[in-house]
């Protein structure tokens, strides 16, 4: 309704209280867009796995070498404790031919000095960098002290794995959490974590003895469920979820 302006009277435009304001529409649309962005999977290059090099490096279908961001595993070339088991853990998570997404961290380097791509690696919705640390197969590594978007989560997962003696934290007791330095787990065989020459079969935490075969019935209840981080030679992880004898 419009009121005619008279002497000393200002024209007034009446607005129906049931009519939403433009501001309300804009605010609602912005909120919906923010929710969509929050739930959207991180974007990244889609590739297939060609092969696993070691516990923190892979080769993909484009021919590129990819180094996992913000994590480190014992070195195969130095015969370090748990190096073979870390590679086996990654092979279990990423079978050859797996479809992967490679995601950059905007705050970190994109390529290392060897020309390898530095990426978070996803299989479906699984962040494999985080999963390797959760299983105790890798440790956080913040090169030059640079911390990326998942640094806090990596530290939390590593702390939980260490307290539970999972993976290298149980197999290589000399390992210390030093996230600003490459992981150092000691020589393979010194504590049984790097190969079958020690007293522990690699790939299980807590320790299982090296023997011809072992069933869940042979394992004390105090050790169950086991964390399977390697090749699972005793076939204890029937459903492939990383836990044996559940």
- For 118-139, the pLDDT digits (tens) are 999 999 999 999 999 999 999 9
Whole-model pTM: value is 0.64
Which residue has 């299989």 as its token pair?
123
150 or 231: whose pLDDT is higher?
150
Q: How confident is the model at residue 82 (pLDDT cuts 50, 70, 90)?
A: very high
Cα–Cα dist 227/246, whole Å: 10
Per DSSP, 240 falls in state: S
Count the alpha carbons within 13 Å of 29 in the hemisphere toward its beta carbon: 6
Of 93, 76, 92, which is closest to residue 84 (Cα–Cα)?
76
> Residue 206: pLDDT band by 50, 70, 90 thresholds?
confident
List the beta bridge partners of residue 226.
244
Ordered by start, the domain boundaries in the chain are: 45-188
- Confidence at 45, pLDDT banded by 50, 70, 90: confident
Task: Please write the tens of the pLDDT for every residue from 85-123.
Answer: 999 999 999 999 999 999 999 999 999 999 999 999 999
Say which CATH topology domain 45-188 has.
OB fold (Dihydrolipoamide Acetyltransferase, E2P) (2.40.50)
**Rg of the Cα atoms in the chain:** 26
Whole-angstrom Cα distance, residue 223 to residue 165?
11
Phi/psi at 215 (5° precision): -110, 165
Report the sign of the C-alpha dihedral through residues 61, 63, 64, 65, in that order: positive
């Amino acid at each position: 309704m419009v009121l005619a302006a008279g002497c000393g009277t200002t024209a007034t435009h009446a607005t129906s209280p049931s009519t939403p304001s433009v501001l309300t529409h804009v605010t609602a649309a912005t909120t919906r867009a923010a929710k969509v962005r929050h739930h959207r999977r991180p974007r990244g290059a889609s590739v297939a796995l060609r092969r696993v090099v070691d516990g923190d490096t892979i080769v993909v279908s484009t021919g590129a070498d990819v180094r996992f961001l913000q994590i480190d595993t014992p070195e195969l070339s130095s015969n370090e404790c748990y190096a073979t088991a870390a590679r086996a853990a990654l092979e279990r998570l990423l079978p050859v031919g797996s479809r992967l997404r490679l995601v950059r961290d905007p705050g970190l380097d994109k390529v290392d000095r060897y020309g390898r791509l530095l990426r978070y690696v996803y299989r479906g919705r699984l962040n494999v960098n985080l999963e390797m640390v959760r299983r105790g197969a890798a440790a956080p590594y913040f090169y030059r002290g640079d911390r990326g978007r998942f640094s806090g989560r990596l530290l939390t997962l590593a702390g939980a794995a260490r307290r539970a003696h999972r993976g290298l934290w149980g197999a290589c007791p000399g390992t210390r959490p030093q996230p600003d330095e490459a992981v150092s787990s000691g020589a393979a065989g010194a504590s049984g974590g790097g190969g079958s020459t020690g007293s522990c079969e690699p790939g299980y935490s807590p320790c299982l003895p090296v023997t011809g075969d072992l069933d869940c019935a042979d394992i004390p209840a105090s050790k169950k469920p086991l964390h399977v981080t390697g090749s699972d030679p005793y076939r204890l992880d029937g459903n492939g979820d990383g836990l044996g004898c559940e």
